[in-house]
């Protein structure tokens, strides 16, 4: 069964968002997404200072199987990226909600865009629909 933490928000392209206490938001791909990709080999991340836009391509993940686009679930400015992934890309597979985080954003339209994302229950239904 795919892990879908209750405290996160989800996009229909299988990214998750965690709203941190300091107002920044951490972004990654879901357990379901990593299981479809297989072993991650390289992760191409944006740079701190880059602008990202709601559901526009922000990063790339390459596995043995294929290259996959990662869409930013929020608009804003990238403030931090997970540079550990260059040495340990497998963290995206083994710990997609923890050590496999991709980048952090200072959101420019948080409330408006969170309202357009899914909560865990709705995302679970999406995943179950895709797996059927």
Distances (CA, A) of 126 to 18, 71, 73, 96, 106: 19, 17, 16, 18, 27
Return the residue of 13, 50, 62, 95 that touches another protein, per CB under 8 A.
62
Closest distance to another protein from the beta carbon of 36 (Å): 7
- Distance of alpha carbon 18 from alpha carbon 25, whole angstroms: 5
Q: Per rule CB under 8 A, is residue 131 in the interface with another protein?
A: no
Can you tell me whether residue 26 is helix, strand or coil? Answer: strand
Candidates 21-29, 30-38, 76-84, 121-129; binding stretch for another protein (CB under 8 A): 30-38
What are the residues binding another protein (CB under 8 A)? 35-36, 38-39, 41-42, 44, 62, 64-65, 67, 93
């Amino acid at each position: 069964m795919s892990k879908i933490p209750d405290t996160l928000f989800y996009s229909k392209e299988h990214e998750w968002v965690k709203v941190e206490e300091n107002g920044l938001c951490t972004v990654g791909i879901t357990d379901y997404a990593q299981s479809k990709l297989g072993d991650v080999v390289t992760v191409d991340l944006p740079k701190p200072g880059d602008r990202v836009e709601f559901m526009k391509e922000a990063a790339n993940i390459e596995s043995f199987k294929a290259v996959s686009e990662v869409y930013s679930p929020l608009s804003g400015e990238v403030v931090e990226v997970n540079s550990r992934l260059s040495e340990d890309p497998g963290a995206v597979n083994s710990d997609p909600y923890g050590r496999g985080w991709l980048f952090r954003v200072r959101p420019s339209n948080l409330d408006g865009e969170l309202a357009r994302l899914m909560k865990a229950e709705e995302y679970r239904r999406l995943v179950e629909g895709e797996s059927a």
